[in-house]
Amino acid sequence: MTPRTTDRPQMSVEEFEELERNAPETVRLEFINGRVVVKPMPDGNHREICMWLLRQCMQQRPELGLYPESGLKTEAYRKGRARADGVLAPTGSFRGHGEWSDTSAVLMAVEITSFDSDTHHRDRVEKPDGYAAAGIPVYLLIDRDDCSVTVFTDPEGGRYRKLENHRFGAMVQLPAPVGITLATESLKDYVD
């Protein structure tokens, strides 16, 4: 397990943002728990899952937008920078924002696991803590390794107090403030 480095980060948030601005387009960087993390580029099935979720969100909550690849200021005191696979927020919430946005309008952050060695620590451990610390009401993890959907809710003290895990194929209720029901049967088509 990678130790938390928030007390002794690899660099300042400002140094990270400068590094990220100058990184090649094919490299996506995050700053989580005081360390720089390289986020893998999405594969075709990852992109298809994003579109599946986008369609369901738009059908049920057309006043909301599911913003892909959104940079968020996360963790306590906004010292982290996470690039969520998707962010659900009222349409227009990010008008005028730069690369890294405050999370005050965010109703839900979404991550879809990638097939890389760091996905467990990044998507299942660090991201939930960062999103909870930032006060994001719902974190949705679509886990292609486990063929499951996990819904994290009730952020308090830098942790989500409640989580529900559902196998692909289940009907998944995303609670308020999201208020969307996901029919997850088709996710079985995107696990290989």
- pLDDT, one tens digit per residue, over 39-59 is 667 778 989 999 999 999 999
Domains plus CATH for the chain?
45-190 (3.90.1570.10)
Segment 103-113 mean pLDDT: 95
Is residue 146 within 8 Å of residue 119, measured between CB atoms? no
Mean pLDDT of the 95-115 span: 91
One-letter amino acid of 94 = F
The β-bridge partners of 182 are: 172
Phi, psi of 187, deg, nearest 5: -65, -25
The amino acid at residue 32 is I
**Has residue 186 got a pLDDT over 70?**
yes
User: Cis peptide before 177, with omega less than 30 degrees from 0?
Assistant: yes
Q: Can you give the pTM of this predicted structure?
A: 0.82
Choose the weakest-confidence range: 52-61, 76-85, 137-146: 76-85
**Over the stretch 82-91, which tens digit does the pLDDT of each residue have?**
889 999 999 9
Q: Please state the rounded mean pLDDT for residues 164-174.
A: 98
The Cα–Cα gap between 105 and 137 comes to 10
Residue with tokens 């049967």: 185
- Measured distance CA(39)–CA(51) in Å, rounded: 19
Selection from 33-42, 76-85, 180-189 with the highest mean pLDDT: 180-189
User: Mind giving me the DSSP string for 157-180?
Assistant: TTEEEEEEEEETTSEEEETTTT-E
Tokens in use for 62? 């057309």
Please list, in sequence order, all residues whose beta carbon lies within 8 angstroms of the beta carbon of residue 173, skipping any fewer than 6 positions away.
181
Give the pLDDT mean for 137-144: 96
